Amino acid sequence: MAKIGFIKLGNLGISQVIDLVQDEIAARQGITIRVFGTGPKMGKDEAADTEEMKKWDPDFVVMISPNAGAPGPKAAREIWNDVPCIVVSDGPTKKDDRQALEDAGFGYIILKVDPLIGAKTEFLDPVEMASFNADAMKVLSTCGVVRLIQEELDCVTAQVDDGKSGKDLELPHILGKPEKCIESAGFNNPYAKAKALAALHMANKVAEINFPACFMMKDLEQVALTTATGHEMMRAAAQLAIDAREIEKANDSVFRQSHSKKGNLMQKTKLYEKPKEVKL
């Protein structure tokens, strides 16, 4: 029985489903999952509280947060450095910083395409926050990010099933640029793939737009206009992702990759086709 822990410090778009992607219909045998979440906060106090999950003794943990270089996530990694840990975040993106994570024994999946929200009180309210995350999730799901994470976590789980543990586990080290993510999406139609890749590039750009509004700008009108711009771009990216999937549906070529009860991967493309087990 593979015991997988998820530690959620703050929120990314993919935080909404990352603990669900290995057991999408809640019928998979051989794994058990627990989640420790700190809501929107991700400071050192919240990091310290995550030690509670050690009582459950997970085989490996997935630690997801914005900006893995922030004080809170750093403090959490110090607590969990004796347990196999995969860091999922929107940064660090620089090679030296990612190498430092690897040298410290951590796996990582850095998702540049999981965009920074326009987190300013001049613009953001709970409805806007939820709407933005829904748009982000549409891009992350359709355009390859969810499947990329599914496959990487399945690989680690399979190692646990084979009897590996601790430092013997091979953890992923992935920089999730748009070009990397799109290859996991499984598009058959090249125009659908192009739309989805465009959506990923737009999601990547959203963070560049929102960053100065969140951390540098002071003028009310400038802050409000800039954050609204980033959110409008995210909405447009979500629509491109929807359009891409609609092309695949029209061709009856939507790629599906589900789990059997035993945890094996099954694939199909035709709606009325029975899934077949595959090995990656």
Summarize pLDDT for 161-184 with one digit per residue, the tens: 999 999 999 999 999 999 999 999
3-state secondary structure of 223: helix
**pLDDT tens digits for 39-80?**
999 999 999 999 999 999 999 999 999 999 999 999 999 999
Provide the domain limits for residue 175. Answer: 2-110+144-181
Closest CA to 87 of 176, 164, 163: 176
- Tell me whether residue 195 is in a domain: yes
CA angle (218, 221, 226) in 5-degree steps = 80
The whole-number pLDDT of residue 280 equals: 62
- Tell me whether residue 269 is in a domain: no
Give the rounded distance of the alpha carbon of 198 from its chain centre. Answer: 18
Question: Are residues 167 and 69 both part of a single domain?
Answer: yes
**pLDDT tens digits for 146-159?**
999 999 999 999 99
- Tell me whether residue 276 is in a domain: no
Helix (H) or strand (E) holding 36: strand 31-37
- Tell me whether residue 99 is in a domain: yes
Question: Are residues 164 and 35 both part of a single domain?
Answer: yes
Question: Are residues 55 and 97 both part of a single domain?
Answer: yes
Q: How many domains does the chain have?
A: 2
Question: Are residues 20 and 131 both part of a single domain?
Answer: no
- Tell me whether residue 77 is in a domain: yes
Question: Are residues 18 and 65 both part of a single domain?
Answer: yes
Model pTM greater than 0.85?
yes
- Tell me whether residue 72 is in a domain: yes
Give me the chain's average pLDDT, please: 97
